[in-house]
Structure 1
Amino acid sequence: MTDQRQIVQQDWVDADDQPQHSPDETVARVLSVMGEPPADLETTAPVVTRRGRRTGLVGEVRLEDGGTARLDDLVPDDLPFGYHVLVTDAGVERRLVVSPGRCWVPPEQRWGWAVQLYAARSTHSAGVGDLADLRTLREWTESLGGGFLVVNPLHAVAPVLPLETSPYLPATRRFRNPVYLHVDEPPAVPVVGIDRDAAWTHTLRVLRARFDERADDDLFDAWRAEQGRALEEFATWMVLAADHGADWHDWPEPLHDPRGDAVRRLADERADEVTFQAWLQWLLSEQLRAATGDLTVIQDLPIGVSGGGADAWAWQGVMADGITVGCPPDALNSVGQDWGSPPFVPWRLRAADYEPFVQSVRATIAGAGGLRIDHVMGLFRLWWIPDGGGPQEGCYVRYPADDLLDIVCLESHRAQAVVVGEDLGTVEDGVAEALAERGILSYRVLWFEDDDPAAWLPGSLATVTTHDLPTVTGLWNGSDVDDQLESSDMAEDDVRAGREELLGRLRRDGLATGAGGQEAVAAAYAQLGRAPSLLLSFSLEDAVGEQRRPNVPGTTERDNWRVPLPVPVDELADHPGPTALLRAAGVTITPAGG
């Protein structure tokens, strides 16, 4: 039996290479929450392996496709990749995951836009950018010769007003947010700015009417049957959340058990409502497919979910109670961060055959061809923060990284999807090597790199900034400093010192002090264009001169995740900024098929 104290890392090294020691009381609380695994876990937990590796196991393999094979310790070279069941000669059944050990990667360098979809409104949008706007972005990108888009997480939140604004605190990582559904009927009153509540209210009204008038649809029925229990549980949770609130802990006690009699009776009584929620997910799947076409759309996998949400309800006992995850103080935020999501307990995730992780990765990749893993270091270790403590009072808990990474490789291989690991912040030794071995692209950000982009590794996605960092214009004119000081508790000296550090990188090629914002953008992307990185990601905010970043980490008063692009997406083709940015980066505009 694994001693749980071995996976709690009390001594660690921070982002400034300084040794740190987490409080004894934190460690004690974390160990209490984790509990002890059953004595037989090591003989029943899933085996994640590769062809040609020894397993120490002998038995019959029931293959995923219905066939059978024999395992005699060494995994044979012809054993199919996939999720199988091993029945050992001793009669013990274990999940056997055979991974290729490497992700799919594009054959040549590509460039694309990074965009917050909710912010990418068109002149016809109803409060947020939607999947029709994503299609407009895709077609425009293809017209310029771009090869991908990077978008924010599109996962569902509770259907309760006000809707959760952060894409990184969803109710689920397996199903999508209906607020992104496009409906042809415009709202009676035009919506100003980003207004998720108005968008959802309007979309819900239109789609409810269409659902009530719809004829039987064999395609929907077949799709629903393929999704199985996961979809039914989620759809039921959405109905319950609309009735009782966004946090299942606050529901009547009999409804806490997703497989209990009370929930089954309610699902039967409200079958039409459950079907409606399932139907919305089918529409999302269909609209996403139409929006992406043949272009790779890299969707973001958040590090976690809301503790009161659908996934936490479905996987009670697998997630830790009384714990949230975040990160210790680093260059991004000098006071640390608490992201509000409960973590998986490592041994409980193994006991669940890794199924919660498998479903989350697979669902996020589905229909788009790319995956960005937010805070990929969380597959190695996570910063656990006990309730009542601050981000500085946490400790690291280690995860079975080899297994989790090889599962990512398997899902990437199956979907032919590129995978990017967001490895910013406090990164321990060995992470970069483990990602590179598996073809998971690293994340290189100009604001964080001392080396010239020409020296960056090819196995990476290169960008100037991220949703949590300043736009070029906001950094250059100083407005981002004002924004941070008005909305966060960060010390002014830290904020101003951080700006000077980033300005030093922006001026690497000799940008004049009196240059304008457009010149600053050109200077940044001229540097980025030198990177040999496999993917070059260009911020749409920078392309149109937006000053405000989408999110200032650690703030609650600011309008995070509600900053619209200043240019409607159906007018981007007429805006000079995007083509100027591409020229600065050295991109030759070559439309697809041209």
Structure 2
Amino acid sequence: MNHVPHPSDSALHALAQQAGLQADWEDAAGCAMRVNDDVLRTVLGCLGLPASTAAQVADSHARLRAEADNVTVPALVTGIVGQPIQLVTAPRQRAALEGRPYRIEYEHGGATVESTVGADRDRATLQLAPVPTAGYHRLRIDTGAGSSIDATLAIAPPRCYAVADALHERKRTQDARLWGSSAQLYGLRAAAELAPLSAGLGSYANAGALARSLAQHGADALALSPVHAMFSAEPQRYSPYSPSSRLFLNATMIDPAALFGEHAVRQAIADNGLTDVYTRLEAATLIDWPASATARLTVLRALHRQMREQAAAGNENVKRLREDFRTFCAARGQSLLDHAHYEALDAHVRNRDPHTWHWKQWPAAYQSPSNPAVRAFAHDHAEGVDFHLFLQWAAARQLAAAQRGAEDAGMAIGLIADLAIGTDSAGSHVWSRQQEVLIGVTVGAPPDLFNTHGQNWGLTTFSPRAMRSHGFAAFIEMLRAVMSTPGGVRIDHVLGLMRLWVIPEGASALDGVYLRYPLQDLLRLIALESWRNRCIVIGEDLGTVPGGLRGQLADTGLLGMRILWFEREEAVPGQPFRPPQDWARTSVAMTSTHDLSTLAGWWVGNDLRWQGKLGLLPAGMDEAQAHVQRMADRHALVEAFAHHNHAAEQYGNPPPLHITTLRLALERAGAASAADADIALDATADDFATAATAFTAAAPVPLTVVPLEDLFGLTEQPNLPSTIETHPNWRRRLPGPASAQLDDPAVQARLAVLARQR
């Protein structure tokens, strides 16, 4: 990565820059870095720009120049309501189009705009008059001789739909400070009477029940782990951040009983000989994904077959369901059909060869969704295709019911969906959108203070070049899919809207390069879709954040994330914790995330024990040193609690945080043996979780989110980055039904301080 180029590399670096690659960059510590030339050549090749030889570099340069010279008007142009619209075009096209008449037809009819194309001399671009209405409008520029240029104008509001807008729609005070929780959907437990029907997995129905319970305690939001479609034929792939498609939903999260009733599900379990399996899976502390997913899908397949038979027999209730199903399929169109075809094909090919794990290994005729052989397969396997269409209908129906339940219970926002940064290249999204995604590279993150070897997520995502040439169609489709139901969406690794660390397949995370994305266009499309779907937007802005990005996100109304553990004054000796009143107001305040230690786990050092056991401690630090540092951090955070109490007293308010027991515990732990220190800390973990929750909730931000793990005082975190088999990632279940857990006295105390602080 630190390779210093020779003068002969200048042409390669010029090509890389023109293609959007950032050969020179700064790491998390501010050190200047340069990407190895071999990495540049490989990634350029994956972008369709061969660069292995000097001749190829020259040819790729020429190709990019030709593409730039031939640009007239992009297929989709973004703009802001009430602001002049900039049209980037080639110089010769600019001269030809300046002064030409144009017409804009509004998306929803009504008025049209007619004018002539102007020029912005400062930016060397063409310019259109401001458009006062948000939407996807049709632009037609008259080029003479009966010809024209057509494009889409995506005109966005100045900012995203906000928490204040959601409050306004519900006729509530717009400056109210809301709070909510977050949950790993798969780990939720059903109520006792339905537990035997759950196969050891959470469901969309569980999410609805949890949202209603939280709303009764004053919550306005419930953020969920990603619910993207996974691989039905390979339940071993279960990380919610490595989906098959971000357009569709995880079928294993469907609750069969919520759709068909308890009796039908009990009968299907018995008929398929799964009674003992369901009992074993429900009794387990950790999820057995292959067994649980297979058991649930087996029951759903039986109920789907029964549904088809009953509809054919004339059952009126089932016929109405089938009519709703057909309406859903028609609305989702070809994308849904492609997904169902993929799922059926994947199962078919795996049955013949279990070692086939990627669609590139399928017979050639099946590798393209438009191949007639795929349609022939779908015809011959109609019931299998119908089953996967049915699963998506059932999942969408239940997720929508959960959101309605949250809103009916009084939540201003309701569910907050999680949009993963990419998809598995072997999945249905890539298979169906091969021309619009990056092939041959994976995405990740360069080394930083918390991941010294960098991260390779094994995912791919949209190509920025293809985004522009295809009018951002795939990106818009994805936004609509994830925003259509919930009241909010969290964008994982939102830094990827500006640049992504891309890594050649098979290489280490160290051997990557940043690829630039059209940030301004993407932010405008997000703002437009957020308003159309009445959906607030949160961005995970953690890691190596480019300078100025957070300001641009804030200007667009996209909320950042401020995590308790990271809110420290890095420029001050000892790095004290920052008081909540100084946290960025254009953000969501959070105690922790799924990738970080829980509050109780941090206090007792559970995360350090895991890291020490697995060799994941920071470079140059052993476990004893890590525990010494953690003790210093505990003192620093409790001291921040004390300052917060003092500030409250100065304003005539009682101290909001109870910290006497925490101080005593730290004194005892500092003077005791390791075993006695653990006892002192364990005994006060609940007190710490309550104080830290109140401290975080005091931040003057629109929304505070406290994960269920922190509300319930749990010590284990859902995911430990840089591990796969050595830590039970994405497998932990809650100790009991969430509604019952909320009645625990310690949990009630945290709920009470949340209500007071917000």
Which TM-score applies when normalising by structure 1? 0.93
Q: How does 1:357-396 map to 2 (within 5 A)?
A: 357-396=475-514
In structure 1, the residue corresponding to 2:222 is in which secondary structure? strand
Amino acid at match of 1:84: H
Between 1:2-11 and 1:126-135, the stretch displaced more is 2-11
Task: Give the deviation of 1:81 after TM superposition.
Answer: 2.0
Query: Cα deviation per residue 1:177-202 (whole Å; 9 max; x = unaligned)?
Result: 01110022355131123233333223
1:15 maps to a residue whose letter is A
Question: Which aligned pairs between 1:412-423 and structure 2 lie closer than 5 A?
Answer: 412-423=530-541
CA contact (8 A) 1:324 1:339 kept: yes
Structure 1 segments unaligned to the other structure (5+ residues):
590-594
Gaps of 5+ in 2: 1-13, 50-63, 88-96, 118-126, 165-175, 258-264, 270-274, 312-318, 351-356, 569-577, 643-661, 667-679
Q: CA deviation at 1:160?
A: 1.9
Instruction: Find 1:503's aligned residue among 634, 649, 654.
Output: 634
Alignment of 1:319-358 (within 5 A): 319-358=437-476
Deviation at 1:55, TM superposition (A): 3.1
Partner of 2:673: none
Q: Which letter maps to 2:162?
A: V
Q: Which moved more, 1:546-555 or 1:194-203?
A: 194-203
Q: Structure 1 residue 137 and structure 2 residue 210: aligned? A: yes
Partner of 1:277: 388
- Shift in Å, 1:546: 1.4
1:403 corresponds to: 521
- Secondary structure of residue in 2 paired with 1:532: coil
1:23 is matched with: 36
Q: Does 2:645 correspond to 1:577?
A: no
The aligned residue for residue 122 of structure 2 is none
Q: Which moved further from structure 2: 393-402 or 571-580?
A: 571-580
Higher mean alpha-carbon deviation, 433-442 vs 560-569, is at 560-569
More displaced stretch, 244-253 vs 344-353: 244-253
Relative to 1, partners in 2 of residues 1:567 and 1:502: Cα closer, same or farther, differing over 3 Å?
A: farther
Q: Identify the match of residue 249 of structure 1 among 343, 357, 360.
A: 360
1:267 to 353, 369, 378: 378
Question: What does 1:157-196 align with in structure 2 at a 5 Å threshold?
Answer: 157-184=230-257, 185=265, 188-189=275-276, 190=279, 191=281, 192=284, 193-196=286-289
Deviation sequence 1:435-483 (CA, Å, 0-9, x none): 1111100100010111211111222110011111011111111221121
CA distance in 2, matches of 1:536, 1:75: 41
Q: Which moved more, 1:90-99 or 1:77-86?
A: 77-86
SS, match of residue 466 in structure 2:
helix
Separation in 2 of the partners of 1:547 and 1:401?
38
Q: What secondary structure is seen at the aligned counterpart in 1 of 2:228?
A: coil
Secondary structure of the equivalent of 1:12?
strand
Query: Is 1:533 aligned to residue 707 of structure 2?
Result: no
Task: Identify the match of residue 553 of structure 1 among 714, 721, 729.
Answer: 721
Q: Choose 222-231 or 237-246, whichever is displaced more.
A: 237-246
Aligned equivalents of 1:382, 1:492: Cα separation in 2: 25
In the alignment, structure 1 residue 203 sits paired with structure 2 residue 296? yes
Matched, 1:153 2:226: yes
Do 2:590 and 2:704's aligned partners in 1 also have CA atoms closer than 8 Å?
A: yes
CA 1:499–1:167: 2 relative to 1, 3 Å: farther
Contact 2:589 2:697 in 1 (8 A): no
Contact 1:527 1:585 in 2 (8 A): no
TM superposition shift of 1:585: 3.8
1:324/1:384 contact within 8 Å kept = yes
Matched-pair identity in % = 34
1:316 equivalent in structure 2: 434
**How far apart are 1:505 and its partner, in Å?**
5.1
Contact residue 718 and residue 730 of structure 2 kept, 8 A: yes
Residue in 2 that maps onto 1:306: 424
> Which deviates more, 118-127 or 318-327?
118-127
**Correspondence 1:479 to 2:577:** no
Shift of 1:41: 4.6
Higher fraction of helix? 2
Task: State which drifts further: 279-288 or 167-176.
Answer: 279-288
- Is the CA contact 2:450–2:618 (under 8 Å) kept in the aligned structure 1? no
- Indicate yes or no: 2:112 matched with 1:69: yes
Which string of whole-angstrom CA distances, capped at 9 and with x for unpartnered residues, describes residues 393-442 of structure 1? 11111100000011100110111111001000100111111111111001
Give, in angstroms, the shift of residue 93 of structure 1: 2.4
Deviation at 1:75, TM superposition (A): 5.5
**How do 1:421-432 and structure 2 match up within 5 A?**
421-432=539-550
1: distance between equivalents of 2:139 and 2:478?
24
Q: 2 CA distance for matches of 1:519 and 1:202?
A: 40
Counterpart Cα distance in 2 of 1:126 and 1:579: 29
Amino acid across the alignment from 2:688: A
**Larger CA deviation: 243-252 vs 310-319:** 243-252
1:592 is matched with none
Judging changes above 3 Å, is the alpha-carbon distance between structure 1 residues 300 and 71 closer, same or farther for their aligned structure 2 residues? farther
Deviation, structure 1 residue 279: 1.6
Residue pair 2:46, 2:440 contacting (<8 A) in 1 also: yes
Q: Does 1:89 align with 2:165?
A: no
Residue 48 of structure 1, aligned match among 78, 81, 85:
78
User: Conserved in 1, the CA contact under 8 Å of 2:235 and 2:293?
Assistant: no
Equivalent-residue separation in structure 1 for 2:103 and 2:343 (angstroms) = 41
Label 1:588 to 1:325 Cα distance change in 2 as closer, same or farther (>3 A). closer
After TM superposition, list the pairs within 5 Å mapping 1:218-257 onto structure 2: 218-245=323-350, 246-257=357-368
Kept after mapping to 2: 8 A contact 1:379/1:400: yes
Distance between the aligned counterparts of 2:473 and 2:630, measured in 1? Answer: 43
**8 Å CA contact retained: 1:365, 1:371:** yes
Q: Report the CA distance between 1:78 and its aligned residue.
A: 5.6
Structure (1 or 2) with the larger CA radius of gyration: 2
Q: What letter is aligned with 1:506?
A: L
CA contact (8 A) 2:140 2:151 kept: yes
Compare relative contact order (CA 8 Å, sep 6+) and give the higher one, 1 or 2: 1
Is the 2:79–2:155 Cα contact (8 Å) retained in structure 1?
yes
**In the alignment, structure 1 residue 288 sits paired with structure 2 residue 288:** no
- Which secondary structure state, in structure 2, belongs to the residue aligned with residue 17 of structure 1? coil
- Secondary structure of 1:93's counterpart equals strand
Deviations 1:487-513 (A, max 9, x none): 455456457547467535533225421
Superposed CA RMSD in Å reads 2.3
Distance 2:238 2:41 in 1: 34
Q: Distance in 1 between matches of 2:448 and 2:709?
A: 25
For 2:105 and 2:294, locate their aligned partners in 1 and report how far apart those are by CA, in whole Å.
48
- The alpha-carbon distance between structure 1 residues 588 and 336, as it changes in their structure 2 partners (threshold 3 A), is closer
Partner of 2:692: 524
Distance 2:369 2:706 in 1: 43
Q: Distance in 2 between matches of 1:47 and 1:3?
A: 25
